[in-house]
Structure 1
Amino acid sequence: MSNTVLFELGVEELPARFINDALDQLQEKTAQWFKDNRIPYGDITGFATPRRLAVKITNVEEKQPDIEEEAKGPAKKIALDEEGNWTKAAIGFSKGQGKDVDDIYFKEIKGTEYVHVNKFIEGEQTTKLLQNFRDVFLSLTFPKNMRWGNRDLRYARPIRWMIGLFGEEVIPFTIEGVETGNTTYGHRFLGSKTTVAEADAYEPTLNEQYVMASVEERKAEIVDQLKKLERENEWKLIIDEELLNEVTHLVEYPTVFSGTFSEEFLEVPEEALVTSMKEHQRYFPVRSLNGELKPHFVGVRNGDDKHLETVAKGNEKVLKARLKDAQFFYEEDQKGSIDEKMKKLSRMVYQEELGTLADKVQRIVAITGKLGEWIGLEETQLQKAKRAAEICKFDLVTQMVDEFTELQGTMGEKYARIFGEDEEVAVAINEHYMPRQANGPVPSSTIGSLVSIADKLDTIVGSISIGIIPTGSQDPYGLRRQALGILQTLTAHGWSLPVEQLIDLVHQFYYELDLPTRDEKEVHNDLHEFFRVRAAYLMKEEGVASDVVEAVLARGIGVYPTTKEKAVLLVEKRQDPSFKSVHEALGRVLNLAKKADAADVDPSLFENEQERQLYDAYQHIHEDYRQALKENQLDLALNQLSKLASPIHTFFDATMVMTEDASIRRNRLGLLKQISEDVYAFADLNAIEWKQQF
């Protein structure tokens, strides 16, 4: 008998986007199930097509290993009463282990004797245990579920058949009236109902029925056929990985075919053509070897190579209708003017409490202007930035973007050129949506970056002001991604704009415009915390340890690129044993400075030379330190602080800070308070777990 186990779950067609995760779950849960049931096995292989999820487990043992183990019970003094008789505790323990008090023996552990028994657990037969594997199928989760018929089970799609085999033997269990067996179904049109004689015969049996069960093999077959088509026609196919994965999960038996469309459609911007082919029809667009889009497309059929010409013609007909729409939209959108299209924004609600898209655009223009002034943008460029902000949303009213929402910004840039806008303005309209996804490129132009930051700030501040705050996985407005985009854009351009200042600027706009908002202080705190958490996330993603992140963000984000540089420098410093003394000295200052009421210092109240030396050392480095921070010379700034380490240690060795004399105590705490303010300007060094490094 083969020692291979096979389980297959046959369903109605699963959405392609469900399959990867479902297959990962099935393999992980299978491994865990075998581990939990103590069944030794070799390898686990998963299979998935639109109509099935399956898993094959090799070298499965026919029974669980027997277990011999020593069970420990209560202490001897509890197990025996004063007369030496077994107590209820001992009797209960032995019974619980399936033993008798006659099986008890004592064993000393750390000077105390405890009751013990040896017990033997015989392993169960694997075939019996496998009948509970139904729990794995039932534990799979999907983005959306459904009920069918009068069934109670909610599942991705109705279950139609199941296989459960241990070698040739059927493993019996039932889910919603469907019983396991050794019968499966091939390709919906090319295959038929068939029997899997044994678990190891699963793949070859399905291959005979025009089903490639392995996702990897099916994907590789598609790529091979695409590459062959490329070579034969001297094409360059746009093989998008996301599209390739989706197509792989749409078919069971892939056959590649090609089709054509009229060259007249090439006058339409290629982004619209490519989007129509990829997003709407799941076709691979075709380029020439020098990169020009060609009037061809490549699709993947779920079937064999018979009647491919007919298949191609049918797909050409569908695509032609799509492209005719795109052509019509493109021509219609060029009528009128940008200003006419802008007027329509006043009739489009952005958010019920925050007004129309026209209202949002007005805020973006105002924010962009202020940001441009802050970074010292010359007047000509400032006017371009404002113009870009003013028309950044005009393409949302175009028919092309209404049909192909993915092209917002892209079509705005193209239409802006057609309508005669400045090139920098046109580019900025497209760039202001960047980054479009996590870790995507940020705007490269100054104008595009300003409008991008302004737009995202308005969205975040507006949403949080009216109580729309991301929780858990819920972030319908993409606020987290937009906050990361702001921080990444600031970093890319090295702009010294404190994040809190940006937030407060926009927050203030909302009060000046009398827009609905919650309690001002509450919103202020929510906004600052929201960005602080995003800054922490971004730095951790880039490899900065959590404690260092908390240290540099203790007093807020400030200028994010600088704050990030501080974190990187501190990560290096805590690897340096020579810096430990500096950390300890400055840490002692931070601890005691918390007791200070003020930072006033009167040198005439100094009682010893060590006080004066620390005061003089601080006065000597203070201006240079602050200047180094201002000029972003962080290494130099930290070196200036480090000069205080020796006088601080000497000061604490010779001075009682918390003396009974209130004026002297207050004076000493004031000195420490002054030093601590400089330290906090760099980071809260006490938040860093330095000791773990040495």
Structure 2
Amino acid sequence: MTNYLLEIGLEEIPAHLVTPSINQLAERMETFLKENRLEFDKIIKFSTPRRLAILVEGLAEASEAIDEEVKGPSAKIAKDAQGNWSKAIQGFSRGQGATPDDLILKGDYYYAKKHIDGVKAEEILSKVGDEVIAKMTFSTYMKWGNNDFLFVRPIQWIVSLLEDKVVAFDLLDVTANRFSRGHRFLANVEVELKNANDYASKMPENFVLVDAEHRKAEISAQILALASENKWQVTLHKDLLEEVNNIVEYPTAFVGSFDPKYLSVPAEVLVTSMRDNQRYFEVYNQEGQLAPNFISVRNGNAENIENVVLGNEKVLVARLEDAEFFWKEDQKLKIEDLVAKLAKVTFHAKIGSITEHMARTKEIAAKLADIAGLTDEEKRDVARSAEIYKFDLLTGMVGEFDELQGVMGEKYALLAGENANVSAAIREHYMPTSAEGELPETKVGSVLAAADKIDSVLSFFNVGLIPSGSNDPYALRRAVQGLIRIIEKMNWHFDLSLFIDQFEGENHLEILDFVKARIQKLLLEKLDRHDIVEAAINSSSFDIANIMEVAFVIDAHKDHRPFKPSMENITRSINIVKKNKSTSSVSAASFESQAEQNLYDVVVSLQDEWMQLSAENKFRTLVHDLCPAIENFFENVMVMAEDEAVRENRLALLSEVVTLTSSMADFSLINTK
């Protein structure tokens, strides 16, 4: 067993691409080795902004030799009428390096026995350039020199070592060797690696911490030490820490400060300037108040760190000056004036202005407020927030810091005298801002956020701007996913199909399919039974909250003893009704057996309380009350009786059963085998 090191040296990779790139390199190498039958123990990943590297440990010295049988033509076409080998069998034989007489007849087909010798690891690894590196794909590419070859960034060097031996290959004008490079500023020299196993220990000597997790831990420790020393509180934001980790090779954390006068600007603005724009970690005092300081990380050692601090402070102050200016100037503006100007701001060229979008949202929000059971006061807050909720788009602060839209709307609304509900809704209507993002907390904000997303989907689908494939320029998938999560959280029960039919527009069926696809994605992230998800999605009512709840309830009961017979009884009912449509009403007076009466009594009792039951109680009632009555019915009653009236009455009874169960899920889609 041996170890193999592959390092690709590059110009600096954008921070957000470093981790996906090293993960892809490791995955492609794993696939390459498996395809070539070259066994290994594990692949260790290393990455910095300037290099992607992997160490393959426990690599076999050669690929495994195998004997296999290759399936050929069938015996029916192997020979012609004269008993001679056909062209098909002769061609197959030549392709396998054999003669027809070497083939083996097994059953109805001929097989060729084939021996494949093992190949030395060095010979296999010499193809890594073309088979692994060159086949990598990225969201962003660069082309350099006169090459047609594209990569995430220009390749500067390649290390390819099998233990202490170079496995040479060429990629463009770069030849793989044993020379890496140190830190661009602290050790800008070639670093000779005598053995693949030297990599993790040799590179830190040249100011490169190649282990990304070790580097991240070092950054975290340095930041926390500075915070402790200054008696500050600091949060190591996961995304920020990941980004900072992927822009440095040798980290040194340092403290900077700014004039306390800027603390008069809302903390959210200061944090955005530091965290989002400058990649600084904001700090808080022991009382949890934002301090006039920050912690940042340098790509280098502590030498001349004071100059680095001054430079970073100077850049931050320029941003804080802008923020302070906009904060003061925006307070001179009036909400009503800004709202009036939105009539001249285009929401989309094919759809109209933001004012028109807000008006439609207000109408949708009013209907959702009724469904949500809001009080009269909350309904007034919904109406007011819908009238003004986009005004902050025209403020100077949001123009400069667009990530603060909604946040500044809430601040300015409160300053203008709007109540807390209205102001919060202005901020919350953007939520969630990501797949797992925070959801609105207030009822008013939830209604406004849902209404805004519904109008966006209706509007874009109405003019034919429907996402296809991976193309979704208006983030409608994110909007629908957010809508589903809000409805689920707030437990709003309504039929989305009937709801959107209240509004003019086209492509409503396409919208429902689009929403179904998002529901399916969300459910399959948490449930592994595709059939259960399909059953819930295909209930007779497009009630999103019901669909989500039902899927989890069914999944929770799938391993219980009554589950299988219950699903089979309901499915049998569904299949009979599908094949034999009945337009008759049930007549209890026409029943000929107690089994019919018992089933009818259960159905009637459930119909009276069905809408008030939770999904859990509905399912328990189906299993313990309805399904035993269905089973007893099938055991004692012939549905397809010769008497047409009797037959129609029994079909009508089963139709009532199907109508009831289908409002919960299409149980016939559940696999019980």
Which residue of structure 2 aligns with residue 355 of structure 1? 352
User: Is the contact made by 2:553 and 2:619 (CA closer than 8 Å) also made in structure 1?
Assistant: no
Contact 1:626 1:637 (C-alpha < 8 Å) held by counterparts: no
TM-score normalised to the size of structure 2?
A: 0.91
Check the 8 A contact 2:527/2:555 in 1, yes or no: no
Tell me which residue corresponds to 2:185: 189
Q: Whole-Å Cα distance in 2 between the matches of residues 389 and 647 of structure 1?
A: 51
Query: Counterpart of 2:291 in 1: which secondary structure?
Result: strand
- Contact 1:544/1:568, CA 8 A, preserved across alignment: no
Query: Match for 1:390 among 387, 391, 394?
Result: 387
CA distance 1:684–1:73, shift in 2 (3 Å): closer
Q: Give secondary structure in 1 for the equivalent of 2:6.
A: strand
Does residue 1:686 correspond to 2:668, yes or no? yes
Change in Cα spacing, 1:684 to 1:44, as seen in structure 2 (3 Å) is closer
Instruction: Give 1:260's aligned amino acid.
Output: S
Is 1:134 aligned to residue 135 of structure 2?
no
What amino acid does structure 2 have at the position aligned with 1:407?
A: L
1:168 corresponds to which letter in structure 2? D
Shift of 1:646: 5.4
Cα distance per residue 1:173-227 (max 9 Å; x no partner): 1111211222222111221232222322223332232211121121111112112
DSSP 3-state at the match of 1:4: strand
1:617 alignment partner, one of 563, 587, 598: 598
Query: Alpha carbons of 1:656 and 1:20: their partners in 2 closer, same or farther (altered >3 Å)?
Result: same
Decide which moves more: 464-473 or 535-544.
535-544
Q: Aligned Cα RMSD in Å?
A: 3.2
**Greater mean alpha carbon deviation, residues 560-569 or residues 221-230:** 560-569
Matched, 1:123 2:118: yes
From the superposition, tell whether residues 225 and 77 of structure 1 become closer, same or farther in structure 2 (CA, over 3 Å). same
* 1:313-352 alignment runs, 5 A limit: 313-352=310-349
Give the whole-Å Cα distance in 2 for the aligned partners of 1:81 and 1:464: 61
Deviation, 1:360, is 1.0
How big is the shift at 1:105?
9.5
Contact 1:595 1:669 in 2 (8 A): no
Pairing 1:500–2:484 present: no
Q: String of CA shifts for 1:583-618, please: whole Å, max 9, x gaps.
A: 333332221212444431475995x723xx455335
Pick closer, same or farther for the CA change 1:122–1:587 going to 2, 3 Å. Answer: closer
For residues 22-171 of structure 1, what are the structure 2 equivalents within 5 Å?
22-67=21-66, 121-135=116-130, 136-171=132-167
Q: CA–CA distance in 1 between the matches of 2:637 and 2:628?
A: 14
The answer to whether the 8 A contact 2:227-2:234 is kept is yes
- 1:285-434 equivalences in 2 (<5 Å): 285-434=282-431
**Pair 189,91 (structure 1): closer, same or farther in 2 beyond 3 Å:** same
Match of 1:277 among 249, 274, 278: 274
Residues 673 and 120 (structure 1), Cα distance of their counterparts in 2 relative to 1, 3 Å cut: closer
Q: Indicate if the aligned counterparts of 1:553 and 1:683 stay in contact, CA closer than 8 A.
A: yes
The answer (yes or no) to whether the contact 1:10–1:51 under 8 Å persists in 2 is: yes
Task: Measure, in 2, the Cα distance between the counterparts of 1:166 and 1:678.
Answer: 68
Structure 2 Cα separation of the partners of residues 312 and 231 of structure 1: 19
Determine which of 630, 642, 645 is the counterpart of 2:611: 630
AA partner of residue 50 (structure 1): P
Amino acid of the residue matched to residue 534 of structure 1? R
What's the counterpart of residue 537 of structure 1?
521
Answer whether contact 1:62 1:125 (CA < 8 A) is retained.
yes
- Alpha carbons of 1:85 and 1:20: their partners in 2 closer, same or farther (altered >3 Å)? same
* Aligned partner letter, 1:364: T
Give 2:562's aligned residue: 578
Question: Aligned equivalents of 2:586 and 2:200: distance in 1?
Answer: 87
CA contact under 8 A between 1:263 and 1:295: conserved in structure 2?
yes
The 10-residue stretch of structure 1 (168-177 or 488-497) with the greater mean CA deviation from structure 2: 488-497
CA distance in 1 between partners of 2:284 and 2:234 (Å): 6
Q: Structure 1 363/109 Cα, relative in aligned 2: closer, same or farther at 3 Å?
A: closer
Alpha-carbon distance change, 175 to 480 in structure 1, aligned in 2, over 3 angstroms: same
Contact 1:601 1:668 in 2 (8 A): no
Relative to 1, partners in 2 of residues 1:303 and 1:586: Cα closer, same or farther, differing over 3 Å?
closer
Secondary structure at the counterpart of residue 296 of structure 2: strand
> Match of 1:575, SS?
coil
Pair 173,541 (structure 1): closer, same or farther in 2 beyond 3 Å: closer
Query: Which amino acid in the other structure matches residue 17 of structure 1?
Result: H
* Residues 1:649 and 1:422: Cα distance change in structure 2 (over 3 Å): closer
Which letter maps to 2:610?
L
Contact 1:76 1:115 in 2 (8 A): no
Q: Aligned equivalents of 2:47 and 2:230: distance in 1?
A: 32
2:460 corresponds to 1:477: no
C-alpha contact 2:73 2:88 (8 A) present in aligned 1? yes
Partner SS, residue 32 of structure 2: helix
Deviation at 1:134, TM superposition (A): 0.3
Partners of 2:532 and 2:111 in 1: CA distance: 50
What secondary structure is seen at the aligned counterpart in 1 of 2:187? coil
CA distance in 2, matches of 1:432, 1:532: 23
Give SS of 1:592's match: helix
Task: Measure, in 2, the Cα distance between the counterparts of 1:96 and 1:77.
Answer: 20
Q: 1:3-59: per-residue Cα shift (whole Å, max 9, x none)?
A: 332222111111111110110011111122222222233432222111111222234
Deviation for aligned residue 1:673: 2.5
Matched to 1:172, the amino acid is: A
1:282-317 C-alpha deviation (Å, 9 max, x unpaired): 111111133211111111111111100011001111
Aligned in 2, Cα 1:459/1:36: closer, same or farther, shift over 3 Å? same
Give 1:620's aligned amino acid.
D
**1:142–1:664 Cα change, 3 Å:** same
Normalised by the size of structure 1, how large is the TM-score? 0.88
Q: What amino acid is the match of 1:189?
A: F
1:179 and 2:171 matched: no
Tell me the CA shift for residue 659 of structure 1: 5.3
Distance 1:564 1:340, change over 3 A: same
Question: Within 5 Å, which residues of 2 pair with 1:519-668?
Answer: 520=506, 523-543=507-527, 545-601=529-585, 603=587, 606=590, 609-610=592-593, 613-634=594-615, 637=618, 643=625, 645=627, 648-649=630-631, 651-652=633-634, 656-658=638-640, 665-668=647-650
Q: Paired residue for 2:237?
A: 240
Instruction: Give the letter for the 1:33 counterpart.
Output: F
AA aligned to 2:228 is: R
Aligned to 2:657: 675
Between the aligned partners of 2:543 and 2:75, the Cα distance in structure 1 is 67
8 Å CA contact retained: 1:164, 1:172:
yes
CA shift at 1:661, angstroms? 5.8
Match of 1:514 in 2: none
Q: Secondary structure at the match of 1:371?
A: helix
| Aligned equivalents of 2:77, 2:161: Cα separation in 1 | 51
Residues 1:441 and 1:557: Cα distance change in structure 2 (over 3 Å): farther
SS for the counterpart of 1:298 is strand
> Match for 2:338: what amino acid?
K
Deviation at 1:495, TM superposition (A): 2.6
8 Å Cα contact 1:79/1:115 also seen in 2: no
Alignment CA distance shift 1:465-1:313 (3 Å): same
Q: Which amino acid aligns with 1:176?
A: L
Structure 2 unmatched runs, 5+: none
Measured at CA, do residues 248 and 374 of structure 1 come closer, stay the same or move farther in structure 2, by a change above 3 Å? Answer: closer
Q: Sort the Cα spacing of 1:54 and 1:686 in 2 relative to 1 into closer, same or farther, 3 A.
A: same
Q: Size of the alignment, in residue pairs?
A: 670
Bigger shift: 11-20 or 189-198? 189-198
Quote how far apart the aligned CAs of 1:497 are: 2.9
Match of 1:577, SS? coil
Residue of 238, 248, 251 corresponding to 1:251: 248
